[in-house]
Structure 1
Amino acid sequence: MNLVNLESVSHAYGPKPLLSDISLGVEAGERIGVVGRNGGGKTTLLSVIAGAVRPDTGRVTHNRGLRVGFLSQQDTLAPDATVKEIVLGGLAEHEWAGDQRVREILSNLIGDLDLEARAADLSGGERRRTALAQLLIDDHDLIMLDEPTNHLDIEAIAWLAGHLAGRKSALVVVTHDRWFLDAVSTRTWEVVDGRVERYEGGYAAYVLAKAERARIAQAAEERRQNLMRKEIAWLRRGPPARTSKPKFRVEAAQALIANEPPARETVELMRFAAARLGKTVYDLEDVTLHAGGPGSGPLVLDHLTWQFGPGDRIGLIGVNGSGKSSVLRLLAGTVKPDDGRVVRGKTVRLAHLSQELAELDPERRVLESVEEIRKYLQVGKKEWSASQLLERLGFKGEAQWKIVGSLSGGERRRLQLLRLLMDDPNVLLLDEPTNDLDIETLNELEDLLDAWPGTLILVSHDRYFLERVTDRCVALLGDGTLSLLPGGVDEYLERRAAGTALTARVASVTTTTTTTSPGAAAQGSAASAAGPAQAASSGLSAKEERELRKELGRLERQLGKLSDRESELHAAMAEAATDYARLGTLDAELREITAQKESVEAEWLETADRLGD
């Protein structure tokens, strides 16, 4: 049964029709991902379905009593309302605190944010998370989300995908995050040229189906051309002999990629990169770095030694505030380490795309702004003109002659990125390059980066883009080191989940031990002084208590040895940064040590609990 029906709907802004005679419906429980170029009508379609925009022509009908939750790109939070008032409304504390679903939403979206903070004092990301939490806590028959992953880190995006997939509500979501689309959607709508093309499955299925449609259309066009040539030949030669009609077979989707080469010629790119850069790109030697400057703000790196080599394509992962941008600024030379030194190769030609848009001359035209850097660029084995590259990144035809001052934020970001590439760097530092880019532009950017020889260090919450353009991932896990992730984003999420669970276990024990002496020696002396009285109060005999304290000491010594070995392995992995076979061996041992450490910590917690410490 359809929850919403659109019948012959059309809508335009100015002379451009965004929707033309659209008829479609949203079924109960259906999860739909909406894709298309920026400005193509995706947000308009969502607004029309939600009833927030009345179409120029046609009819939109909702089921009686339909509960619609709509997250638009512009929040409407009351500036004087607190986070608690916005998200929880009039719920009493015992109501929401006792609700597992509400606690989970608060934990993953609100986190450490003060519930008494006013909306006017929140950052853009905090406002977005607050609005999303408010929507998810309520019950809806249909949830409509416009770019819900904006301002969310990889961890929060993974949680949101799982949460939405587990809800019974119907879902319509607009996003450029292709991993998220694949994780949540069972159907895909593409808004193109005023039409809505419908496909079964998520993003991956949509790409295959679209390619197959294109192949069939090409075959049909070739057949039409062949028939036209035959018709012309007949007109020139007279009646032809009777011939059989040509037959075309529809290939399976897998045949489209059977002979497709790898996205990147890794060996060849590494060879080019080594020739352009030499052996040294960046060497970090015993570097200590705080996010807010020497000694201030969170600790990002703690006496870290690490190497970035020629041809490395590295994705840098971490929660918001972990210091990813600080690491990029350290490599760019805009911030200095608290301690240690950063050795930069003599041949490094750097381009750094930060989250802040660089100043562009607002009076210049787009093409002029690029050509003032360079008119032609060699990408792989092909030479591209500035105009051709602009077209690949979405500036087609007359758009190349627009005044820079009239560009949107997304267009400025594309222009900034292209200007950096035109300067022919051999090291790229990219901080959230996918912000405001649509899927087609992302595909073109990935294709450009595939053929670019150099060292790439990328920070992005777009998991698909991250895994697509990098060869390995490292993470900032809050321990002052860079942790290599052979398993990529999945391994990062596993480590984060394991760390959160361990922290919760430790916290549950330490809250019961705050009244006891802090150190093992003090515990021992307190036990000796208390004697039989303390043993009686804990329900243990004096002998049992002595045995448990002896066991506690043994576990602490074992933990110390495991921690030392863990540090040695991190140092060894930093030294072997370019030896992938050695890295794999070291990482396997590190995982084993980590598992042993967690087991010993759990045993220590259990022993301390029995002692009442």
Structure 2
Amino acid sequence: MNLVNLESVSHAFGLKPLLADVSLGIEQGDRIGVVGRNGGGKTTLISIISGTLRPDSGRVTHTRNLRMGMLSQRDEFDPDMPVKDIVLAGRAEHEWAGDAAIREILARLLGDVDLASPAGALSGGERRRTALARLLIGEHDLIVLDEPTNHLDIEAIAWLAGHLSRRRSALLVVTHDRWFLDAVATRTWEVVDGTVERYEGGYAAYVLAKAERARLAQAAEERRQNLMRKEIAWLRRGPPARTSKPKFRINAAEALIANEPPPRETVELLNFASARLGKTVFDLEDVTLHAGGPGAGPLVLDHSTYQFGPGDRIGLIGVNGSGKSSVLRLLSGTVTEDSGRVVRGRTVRLAHLSQELHDLDPSRRVLETVEEVRKYVQVGKKEWSASQLLERLGFRGEAQWKVVGDLSGGERRRLQLLRLIMDEPNVLLLDEPTNDLDIETLTELEDLLDGWAGTLVVVSHDRYFLERVADRCVALLGDGRLSMLPGGVDEYLERRASGTALSARAAASSAAPAAVPAEQRQGGDGQGADQAATAGLSAKELRELRKELNRLERQLDKLGEREAALHADMAGAAGDFTRLAALDADLREVGAQKETVELEWMELAERLEGQ
């Protein structure tokens, strides 16, 4: 049953049509991600769906007694109201304190916020997390989220994705965080040119499907052009000679990337970076650093030694307040270390994109602002003009002649980043470069950085961007060191989670050692309840469990092969809508079987994990 229906909905902002005759519906259990350019109509669409905006024409209907919760980009709180009253909506303490789900939401989103403090004392990020916590604590049939990952660190974003995936509510989310889209969405809507294009799957599936649509459209256009050329030739020459019919091979969407080279020529870029930078970029030797300068603020580095080399592409990870921006300021020389030494290479030509927007003359034009730095720049093997790079980063046509003072925060950030690149640095320090950028601009930025030769250190909570542009990750884990993460973001989350779990186990064992049964303390190894649960299994039972696990793995392989074959068949039947519908039904059935088998496999794997 549809929770919300839109019938022939149209809406315009001034003379610009954002939605034109759009009809769609949201069903129970739908998990939909909404993507599109900034200003393209995403927020307008979800505002119309939620009922906070009336369309110019068309009809919007909600199912009776629909419980809908919405997180907008603007949160209006009474500045004198305590955070606890805003979030818990008058619940008695025994009611919410006894609810594990509510306690988890408060701990994850507001663990560093005094619940008794008034809303007026909150920072922008704390206000955002307060609004999100209030929404998640409620019960809803449909949750609508507009940029929910803003002001959340990587760890909180991973938790939010898991939390939303476990809820039974339907979900509609606008976000530029592509990892988050893949984690929570099973369908993707793209708002483009007044229409809403619909795709199955999260961001990765959307990219493949969109590329396949583009390929089929290109093939159709080529066929049309060939027919036109033949028609013109026939008109000129008379009846055509007999010719063999052209044969068009249609492959599955995965074939689009089969022969695609890696995004970066790593060796070539490294050689070029070494030639520009020499052997030394930044060497940290026994450095101690406080966030507010020598002796001021939280401790970030404690007698830490680390080397940033030529051509390194490093993602710097840590929770909010761990000191990531302070490390970038240390490298740029805007703050000094308490003790130790920072050695900077003599050839370093540094550019630092901070989170503050400055150094832009509000009276200048966008193109003039870039050209005053440089009119042309070499990126990779190609020379780009200032105008071409502006177009790549979203300043198209007349937008290049806008006055800087009229730009939004996101546009000013893009402009500042472009000015830094035009200055041809060989070291880039980027602090949250993805803020306020839409997905299309993010992919252009990533492509631009792929051809840039130099040392890159980037701080970002956008996990997809981080993994896309960085070759390795380094973390601030609160121990005063820069810790290498060979496993990337996944390893960071595992280490954070295991550290928390170890602390909890240590606290529990010190508080109530007598509460642990003797049979679980054998050997003194403290392996936990999961292993104790399997400790009573006989050797025969363990063999049977492993045999069943192998059977499920073989079944998963077969289902995966069937799934791939159905995708290939769908690509080949792109013009046959009847066959496509039948294949889509088969694909859904296979997907459901696969999900069931995966759950069985996970349950068995957890039982065997302790063995």
Would you say 1:185 and 2:185 are equivalent positions? yes
Unmatched runs of 5 consecutive residues or more in structure 2:
515-523, 525-611
Q: Deviations over 1:469-495 (max 9, x none)?
A: 001001000000011000000000010
Q: What is the match of residue 207 of structure 2? A: 207
1:166 aligned onto 2:184: no
CA distance in 2, matches of 1:165, 1:423: 44
Aligned twin of 1:263: 263
Output the CA distance in 2 between the equivalents of 1:277 and 1:248: 49
Name the counterpart of 2:460: 460
Q: Which residue of 2 aligns with 1:608?
A: none
1:534-545 to 2 correspondence within 5 Å? none
1:340 partner amino acid: G
Q: Distance in 1 between matches of 2:181 and 2:110?
A: 23
Mapping of residues 499-514 of structure 1, within 5 Å: 499-508=499-508
Cα drift, residue 94 of structure 1? 0.9
Unaligned ranges ≥5, structure 1: 514-537, 539-550, 552-613
Matched residues in 2 for 1:321 and 1:70: separation?
Answer: 28
The answer for the alignment partner of 1:443 in structure 2 is 443
Question: For 2:340, what is the secondary structure of its paired residue?
Answer: strand
d(CA) in 1 for partners of 2:404, 2:512 = 61
Q: Shift in Å at residue 112 of structure 1? A: 2.1
Query: 1:505 offset after TM fit, Å?
Result: 3.0
User: When the two structures are superposed, what TM-score results if normalisation uses the length of structure 2?
Assistant: 0.83
Query: Which residue type is aligned with residue 252 of structure 1?
Result: A
Alignment partners' CA distance in 2, 1:395 and 1:367: 9
3-state SS in 2 of match to 1:304:
strand
- Aligned match of 2:74: 74
Matched residue SS, 1:483:
strand
| Aligned match of 1:386 | 386
**Identity, % of aligned positions:** 82
Matched position secondary structure for 2:143: strand
- Cα deviation per residue 1:495-525 (whole Å; 9 max; x = unaligned)? 0011111222334456689xxxxxxxxxxxx
Aligned equivalents of 2:247 and 2:62: distance in 1? 46
Give the aligned partner of residue 48 of structure 2. 48
Q: How big is the shift at 1:242?
A: 5.4
Which whole-Å CA distance do the structure 2 matches of 1:154 and 1:96 have between them? 27
Quote how far apart the aligned CAs of 1:26 are. Answer: 0.4
Q: Residue 444 of structure 1 aligns to which amino acid in structure 2?
A: E
Residue in 1 aligned with 2:322?
Answer: 322
Q: Distance in 2 between matches of 1:293 and 1:389?
A: 37
2:110 is aligned with 1:124: no
Q: CA deviation at 1:245?
A: 4.6
Secondary structure of the residue that 1:316 maps to in structure 2?
Answer: strand
* Displacement after TM superposition at 1:248 (Å): 2.6
Q: Distance in 2 between matches of 1:34 and 1:143?
A: 13
In structure 1, distance between residues paired with 2:359 and 2:143: 38
SS at match of 1:70: strand
Structure of greater Rg = 1
Superposed counterparts of 1:590-609, under 5 Å:
none
Name the aligned partner's letter for residue 443 of structure 2. N
Return 237-246 or 495-504, whichever deviates more.
237-246
| Count of residue correspondences | 516
**Cα displacement (A) at 1:42:** 0.3
What is the rounded CA distance, in whole Å, between the counterparts of 1:483 and 1:211 in structure 2?
38
1:359 deviates by 2.7
Instruction: Read off the aligned partner of 2:179 and give its amino acid letter.
Output: W
1:344 match:
344
- Could you say what secondary structure the match of 2:84 adopts? helix
Deviation of 1:78 after TM superposition, in Å, equals 1.7
Deviations 1:157-204 (A, max 9, x none): 000000001111000000000000000000000000000000000000
Matches within 5 A, 1:29-428: 29-241=29-241, 243=243, 245-428=245-428
Partner-residue secondary structure (3-state), 1:287? strand
Q: Which residue identity does 1:171 align to in structure 2?
A: L
Residue 500 of structure 2 is aligned to residue 477 of structure 1: no
**2-structure distance, mates of 1:242, 1:273:** 58
Shift of residue 234, structure 1, vs aligned partner? 1.0
Q: d(CA) in 2 for partners of 1:510 and 1:372?
A: 65
TM-score by length of 1: 0.83
CA distance in 1, matches of 2:257, 2:282: 37
In 1, the alpha carbon distance for the partners of 2:56 and 2:250 equals 40
**Equivalent residue for 1:603?**
none
